[in-house]
Chains A and B, each alone.
Chain A
Amino acid sequence: GAVVSQHPSWVICKSGTSVKIECRSLDFQATTMFWYRQFPKQSLMLMATSNEGSKATYEQGVEKDKFLINHASLTLSTLTVTSAHPEDSSFYICSASRPGGGETQYFGPGTRLLVL
């Protein structure tokens, strides 16, 4: 149990366009979902935390108008990178925690974004 999926796994887009990434908890209802960004050879950087039905909480330095997070249901959160630029190219990973699971987070497989 505790499987998290992401879609798409790879996306290439032109500069100035918007890209939506989906994160789903497949076999549990997620109390909270998290979005991370990972640069090559580096650790994960938390971007935002979201709870179903409420606004996401963004980390300092993360532009909320650029990285739009929607947590429409207990099993789905989306991250939209608006007006993407080459510097937004990165590996985006979501995670989810579940009721009774304590502080354990279950991670999705990640989405590689390349902005040309």
Chain B
Amino acid sequence: AQSVTQLDSHVSVSEGTPVLLRCNYSSSYSPSLFWYVQHPNKGLQLLLKYTSAATLVKGINGFEAEFKKSETSFHLTKPSAHMSDAAEYFCVVSALGRLYFGRGTQLTVWP
């Protein structure tokens, strides 16, 4: 069975400080993992994806995520938050052609 757990429903950071959004997954298969971002009333934009190549994946807008099989984690990080990063972030596992979504983490960035 596949499942995704996003450990924090809300994360608040100050502009210029690091961002950490946590995600743990469970999968019966070798998973493909994704992070998507959703701004209010918008669709989802792909930030990055892991597909069994390098375990450290770099995405758009300065985000990156590290796949750790031993910890079944795929945490999303960014060294320095920007106001425009405020949004909802979804960690997603793909298996057998369908996506399994985490419940989302709302990121707030304070000036």
A residues near B, CB below 8 A?
4, 6, 32, 34, 42-44, 46, 49, 91, 93, 95, 102-110, 112
A17 to B41, CA, bound (A): 24
Chain B hits for A42, CB < 8 A: 103-104
**A93 close to B101 (CB less than 8 A):** no
**A109 close to B98 (CB less than 8 A):** no
**A49 close to B98 (CB less than 8 A):** yes
- Decide: A103 near B94, CB < 8 A? Known: A108-B43, A109-B42, A109-B43: yes
- Decide: A102 near B51, CB < 8 A? Known: A43-B102, A46-B98, A107-B36: yes
Chain A hits for B94, CB < 8 A: 103-104
List 27 A–B pairs whose Cβ atoms lie within 8 Å, in order of A's numbering.
A4-B43, A34-B98, A34-B99, A42-B103, A43-B90, A43-B101, A43-B102, A43-B104, A44-B44, A44-B90, A49-B97, A91-B41, A93-B43, A93-B44, A95-B44, A102-B32, A102-B51, A103-B32, A104-B32, A104-B46, A104-B49, A104-B94, A105-B99, A106-B46, A107-B36, A107-B44, A107-B46
Instruction: Determine if B25 is an interface residue (Cβ-Cβ < 8 Å).
Output: no
**B41 close to A110 (CB less than 8 A):** yes
Minimum CB distance partner of B96 in chain A: A103
**A46 close to B99 (CB less than 8 A):** yes
Instruction: Determine if B34 is an interface residue (Cβ-Cβ < 8 Å).
Output: yes
Number of A-B contacts (CB under 8 A): 49
**B97 close to A32 (CB less than 8 A):** yes
**A103 close to B104 (CB less than 8 A):** no
Task: Tell me the dominant secondary structure on chain B's binding face.
Answer: strand
What's the least CB distance linking A18 to chain B, in Å? 23
B residues near A, CB below 8 A?
32, 34, 36, 41-46, 49, 51, 90, 94, 97-99, 101-104
Q: Which 10 pairs across A and B sit closest by C-beta, in order of nearness?
A: A103-B94, A107-B44, A107-B43, A109-B43, A43-B101, A110-B43, A103-B32, A43-B103, A108-B43, A44-B101
